[in-house]
Amino acid sequence: MAPPLVTVGSGAAARRLLWLSDLAPAPGRAGITGDRARADTTLRRLRAGEALLYQGDYRNARQLLSALGRRLEPRPGTLPPAEAFRRERARRAEAQAVLLRLLVPVGPGWRIALARAPDLSAALSEALGPPPEGEGLLPLREVLGVAGAHEWRRKGVPVPALGAAVHPHHGVFAPVRGEYVGLVARALEARDLAGRTAFDVGTGTGVLAFLAARRGARVIATDDEPRAVACARDNATRLGLADRVEAREADLFPEGRADLVLCNPPWLPAEPHGPLDRAVYDPASRFLLGFLRGLPAHLAPGGEALLVLSDLAERLGLRPPDFLATEAGAAGLSLEVMERTVPSHPRARDAEDPLAEARGAEVTALYRLRVKG
C-alpha cells in the first residue's frame, strides 16, 4: 500500500509529501515552522491539532522538542493513587499526540533534510525498512526514538542474571528491570531441564527463554508482535541458542503442552499509547486473564508455570488485592509465591514521579502455578 500524502504549506507553494511514520496517523495538512519558533507559541499550535514541519537547523529542532516536552511534564500534587494514575496516563497520551505533530523532512536514502542533521539512514532503514522513493515526513520524536533504539540494538543491554547482553530491536521493550529476570534465574539455577519442553509466553527480547534453554530445555518462545519474534530469533543466534529456542508469532500459547511455562506479562491494566507500551499495559487484564485461563490446556502432566508479576496495579487501586489468586483458582490452578523482590530502577526513588508512593512500595513476585489435583 502506498504511503498517504500530506499537504505541506498553502497556496502556490504547497507540496504533497509522503507520510512515512508507523507510529502516528497521517495529518491532512502541515504548516511550517523553523529556527525562530517559540516553544509556547508552537505548543499552542500543536495542541490545537496542527502539524508543523520544521525547516531549519536539526539541533534547534531537537531543542524545541525538548522545550515542548518540559511544558507537558506533570505538576506536583497529592491525589489518591488511582486518580493520580488516570491523570498521568491522560497526560502521557496528550504528550504523545502533541509531540508527534512536530515533523522533519526526509529525503531519498532516509536523509534528514535539515542543516546539521546526523546520518541516521542505517537506524531508519533498520526500523522502517527500505527508504522512500520521494520526499517525505516523519515526526521528530519518532526519529529520535529510532536513533536511540538503534544504539541499544548495536551496543546491547547487559542482563546480569543471564551473564550476557540482549539486543532489543526498535519497538521491542528492553529488559532494563533486571529484578524480574533475577527471580526466574534463581528459580531455574538448580534445575536440569534437559529433555524438557518449555514455553515462554510473551517473549519480547527472549531473555526468559534463554534462561530455560541454558538449563537444557527446548523452548518455544511466542509473541504476537512480529518485531519481538524477529528480535528473539536474533538474540538466540547471538547467544548460540538458536538450536534450542524457536520464536513464533502467536497470541499467547503455541500448540501443544510444555513441562515448564514462563511468563512475564504486562503488569498494569490500562490502554497502551504506543508499541512499547504494550509490554507494560494490558487493557482489562486481557493478556493475564488469557494466560491463566489457557494455561491448564498447555501444561503437560506434572508441569508448572513460573509467572512474574508486580503488585503495582493493586497498589494503584487498578485491581483488587486478591485478583490473581481468585482468577488462578477459577482457572483450576494452584498458586504459590516462590520469591519476592523490590524494584531497583530509578523511578522507584523519584520523588517527583506522580506515582512515587506506590512505586516506592511496589513488590515483584515470582509465582508457581500448577493444575489442581
Count of alpha carbons within 13 angstroms of residue 371, beta-carbon side? 16
The radius of gyration of the chain from alpha carbons, rounded to an integer in Å, stands at 23
Cβ(247)–Cβ(221) below 8 Å: yes
- Is 156-371 in CATH node 3.30.70.580? no
277-307 pLDDT per residue, tens: 889 999 999 999 999 999 999 999 999 999 9
Res 123 pLDDT > 80: yes
pLDDT, residue 77, reads 65
- What pLDDT digit, counting tens, does each position of 132-186 carry? 888 999 999 999 999 999 999 999 999 999 999 999 999 999 888 778 899 999 9
- The average confidence (pLDDT) of the chain is 93
pLDDT digits (tens, 9 = 90+) for 330-354: 999 999 999 999 877 666 566 667 7
pLDDT value of residue 73: 84
Give the CA distances from residue 190 to residues 8, 214, 263, in Å, rounded to whole numbers and listed in that order: 62, 12, 19
Contact 136, 106 (CB under 8 A): yes
Grid cell at residue 321:
488485592
In this predicted structure, the answer to whether residue 190 has a pLDDT above a threshold of 90 is no
pLDDT at site 350 = 67
Q: Which of 286, 288, 263, 266 is nearest to 275 (CA)?
A: 266
Domain limits of the chain?
5-152, 156-371
Element (H, E) at 222: strand 218-223
**What predicted TM-score, i.e. pTM, was given to this entire model?**
0.92
